[in-house]
Amino acid sequence: MIEMTMRLEPTICCPQAWYRVTENDYRGSGYERGHLCPSAGRTGTVEANDATFLMTNMQPQLHALNAGPWSVLEIYGRQLARAGKHVAIVAGGIFHAQTTTIGPGIALPSANFNVLLVLMPGQTR
């Protein structure tokens, strides 16, 4: 298992003037830094795994979601891929114009989604 800490984005990712979220911004909020693309899904190379620890790959999640159904779905997606299926995943949060924030203005999603599109090899639709 690769142990990593969260990292700030390279300056080529976001304009220099933008605030860069840090681990400290989540402290005491009651929310975890939930991976949108999980570390366990990117173990082919150190570089691929390292990229999952960028803060732009995180969104606030309650532990009950992050360690519960979110984790179960991630594990299921990896099982499908190991079984030879093609799996495309889209994950994120749903935000409203008026939203609650943590830290210096990190928006809390009102809901989260994690969608798996599963195709058999050679299947086009």
Domain ranges of the chain: 23-119
Q: How many CA within 13 A on the CB side of residue 90? A: 4
* Active-site residue identified among 35, 63, 86, 96: 35
> What is the distance between the alpha carbons of residues 100 and 97, in angstroms, rounded to a whole number?
10
Q: Using alpha carbons, list the distances in angstroms from residue 119 to 6, 19, 58, 115.
A: 32, 39, 27, 13
35 counts as catalytic:
yes
**Six-digit token pair at 31?**
């929310």
| 102 — pLDDT class (breaks 50, 70, 90) | very high
| Ramachandran assignment for 72, one of left (phi > 0), alpha (psi -120 to 50 degrees), beta (any other) | alpha
Second-level CATH architecture of 23-119: 3-Layer(aba) Sandwich (3.40)
Which residue is associated with the tokens 């995943």? 89
The contacts of residue 53 (CB under 8 Å, 6+ apart) are 4, 5, 6, 7, 39
pTM of the model: 0.81
Above 60 in pLDDT, residue 8?
Answer: no
What pLDDT is recorded for position 11? 57
Above 80 in pLDDT, residue 28?
Answer: yes
